[in-house]
Amino acid sequence: MSTYLIFFGKSQDFTTCCYDRDNPILDFNAVIKDFDLLESKIFTVDDIKNKEILSRYFFTAKGKDYCLLKLYSFAQAYGGNRIAGSIFGVGLLSDNAIDFSRNNLELLRVAKDNFAKLSLDGAKFNKSNFKEDTDRIWKAIVSNNDGNLLDKIATSALRINGNGGQISFFVKDLFSDAEKLNDRISNQDAVYFSEDLEHLKRTQNKWGKESFPIYWEQNNQFVPYKEPVVELKPPPPLDPQDSDDSKSQVNDIAKLRAELSDNQYNNRNLQHDLEKLKEKHKLFTYIVYGLSCLIILLLLYIIFFSGGSKEEVGNQAPAPQENFGQKQEQHPDPISIFLTDDKSVDSGIDFLKSVQFIYTYDVKNSVADSSKFHNQFKSVQNLAVTNKILIDNITEVYLSKSKELKHTVSYETRPMIPTDRSKKPETEKKQK
């Protein structure tokens, strides 16, 4: 016989913690896939004043017959205020029929009471995950002084009746009346017990008398429930006008009470939502302050630490950062220009040789090569204009050496010398 102890409740979403006689069951799908009988769909919690519900189900899953006995009642979720469907409870699951015996029911009672003691504050869960609490309860049950209590559960042969419906009982004492009816209801696949008659009647109104019949005890027998007939003395004759006024007042009072109850419930929900919004607003405020401080620190870093200084060349002032960015966009990397094909590589080699000649030209010892010096610069100019290469540094060297040549020897022809660096020289044919 396989027997399981199951703790369940809507602590946040619907949560279950399952155990066998030896270990916690981490994945109950291995036993019964998508087990959904723990969350009641017929006799559900619909009011904070609902009393406890005791139920038993015979059912088949994966070709195997099972019995579920559970005790449950109202408990709100840790992070919510919903009433309908908010439950917690304890169940016993077996592949035999679990009897409504004193020991079985007392085990459910002890487990559920300790579950409430550890995991609830009043009628509300105090945590969203109650596994640590139920682990403690399960360990106490399986290591009891009288032995493992899951081994002592009273059962009988299980037979699925296939009647497909459910039956409910209004009882005065939940456990003793269930124990008394154990043999009579062995042919019922779904049975509910409750001491809350109004709850049972509301459920019957929802599903109908045939789908959810109610039985109660009359003359030591359980018979279908009927509203008791109350004999009322006829009221004294009233003035028609007074009667209409009194009815109107009664109706108005009833409406006001209903509206007041609804408004109070809505007000509690709104206050709860307001508290959540305040917490979110506080969090967003901290985030905004943090981001503002980070932006200020970044701005200070950019202002004081990221500015670089450039050395002045001659009397030329350093170009503003914006112009440098523009030049970078207009003049691509000269190395990549000369790496497109064989012809561009040859042009790059000629360009670099001309630049090398200009830099290494000795004015005092190479006056005879002044014509070549000027022609090499013209070649550099032409390639720079064609390929949009900046040659400011080369131009300054050329101008400086040309000035020295002017004082050394006189010559009649010289290439066009740009006097304004920002002015681009006209394109000339490359010297062959």
The pLDDT profile of the chain, 432 residues, written as one tens digit per residue, is 789 999 999 887 888 999 999 999 988 888 898 888 888 889 988 888 899 999 999 999 888 999 999 999 988 887 777 777 788 999 999 999 999 999 999 999 999 999 999 999 888 888 888 999 999 999 999 999 889 999 999 999 999 988 778 999 999 999 999 999 999 998 899 999 999 999 999 999 999 999 999 999 998 889 999 888 766 666 666 666 665 666 667 667 867 776 776 677 778 878 888 988 898 899 989 999 999 999 999 888 888 876 554 444 444 444 444 444 444 445 566 667 766 777 777 778 888 888 888 888 888 777 777 888 888 888 888 888 888 788 888 898 889 888 888 877 654 444 545 544 444 444 444 444
How far is the C-alpha of 379 from the C-alpha of 355, rounded, in Å? 9
Residue 19 lies in a domain: yes
Question: Does 193 lie in the same domain as 66?
Answer: yes
Residue 316 lies in a domain: no
Question: Does 64 lie in the same domain as 204?
Answer: yes
Identify the residue whose tokens are 């590589």: 345
Q: What is the dihedral of CA 66, 70, 74, 80, to 10 degrees?
A: -40
Identify the residue whose tokens are 């290591």: 143
What is the reported pLDDT for 406? 82
Residue 162 lies in a domain: yes
Please name the residues in contact with 388: beta carbons below 8 A apart, sequence gap of 6 or more.
330, 331, 332
Amino acid identity at 54: L
What is the reported pLDDT for 410? 55
Report how many domains make up the chain.
Answer: 2
Identify the residue whose tokens are 């002032």: 317
Residue 116 lies in a domain: yes
> Domain limits at 410?
332-432
Residue 236 lies in a domain: no
Residue 303 lies in a domain: no
Question: Does 217 lie in the same domain as 349?
Answer: no
Single residue among 204, 224, 244 that ends a domain in this structure = 224
Residue 313 lies in a domain: no
Residue 235 lies in a domain: no
Single residue among 193, 224, 255 that ends a domain in this structure = 224
Question: Does 182 lie in the same domain as 38?
Answer: yes
Amino acid identity at 158: L
How far is the C-alpha of 21 from the C-alpha of 19, rounded, in Å? 7
Single residue among 166, 194, 224 that ends a domain in this structure = 224
- Max Cα–Cα distance, the chain, nearest Å: 144
φ/ψ of 305, rounded to 5, equals -120, -20
